[in-house]
Amino acid sequence: MSDALPLFTSHPRSFETNRFVYPVVSRRSGGVSIGVNLNPDKVCNFDCIYCQVDRVSAAETKFVDMRQLLDELDHMLALVASGELFAHGKFAATPPHLRRLNDIAFSGDGEPTTYRNFDEIIAACAELKRKHGLDDVKLVLITNASMFHRPTVERGLAILDANNGEVWAKLEAGTAEYFKLVDRTSIPFQQIVDNITAAARLRPLVIQALFMRVAGEPPSAAELDAFCDRLNEITAAGGKLKLVQIYTVARRPAESFVAPLADAEVDAIVELVKTRTSLPAQAFYGAAATSDA
């Protein structure tokens, strides 16, 4: 499947003339994911060392035009449902088993939950999904969990719950020191853990954990043990975790000193998580393999 690799290693935030909505063929979702970019200004409250967003060049769009976003999503849902998407450029190479619409994913060029009208946009997108009769299509929030305590985000999460929603929350450190090294944010690590715990008490979450080589070094055994400890703390406090996704760098990172783990290293972390936490865990490999990040 090497000839299809560009499908999974290049996830541009634009499609034709769209400014906010873009299709992605995703192995993690097992089909087409329609991305909704709520941060076209490229502003994020994290500055992850592995991030693939180009924050050097100026953003073409600084504000979300909700009407245009919804028009783009309406058109994209029709494009994928009809199969017309797969006549476009690289999407023509999409394998038959991935020619299905899996989800509408709120992600993009920053942290989507920082969008001030987060609950309103989730509600409007859910309504469009109903309009197209796509009850089985998920609404997926891909998030760093930093804003779960905000009332507008709590309302948005409740709307997700009522509309076949799923939350993918980032947790990729076991200690505050490693968290600061990798995610480069002033937000305290404990706030992230507490937010994930509180949200997971109300609905099962998927945990996303990206591990990598930093200046040639993989995460230490002690750090990975601490990561498992945090997962166990969340579940011991009543949090429900449905899956832990262990993945590594698959696209050009922000920093040149960041490199992907080997497949065997990813597999070893998956086995550690399963053994230490009894949670289901799944591997997604790096740029040298054929899985997306």
CATH architecture of 2-284: Alpha-Beta Barrel (3.20)
pLDDT on residue 8: 44
CA distance 105 to 129: 12
List pLDDT tens digits, range 133-172.
Answer: 999 999 999 999 999 999 999 999 999 999 999 999 999 9
> Residue 183 to residues 19, 85, 134, 176, 187: CA-CA distances in angstroms?
27, 35, 35, 10, 10
List pLDDT tens digits, range 75-111.
Answer: 999 999 889 999 988 899 999 999 999 999 998 889 9
Q: Where are the domains of the chain?
A: 2-284
pLDDT on residue 249: 94
Of the pLDDT bands very low, low, confident and very high (cuts 50, 70, 90), residue 61 is low
pLDDT on residue 174: 98
CA distance 214 to 45: 21
List pLDDT tens digits, range 104-120.
Answer: 999 888 999 999 999 99
pLDDT on residue 57: 63
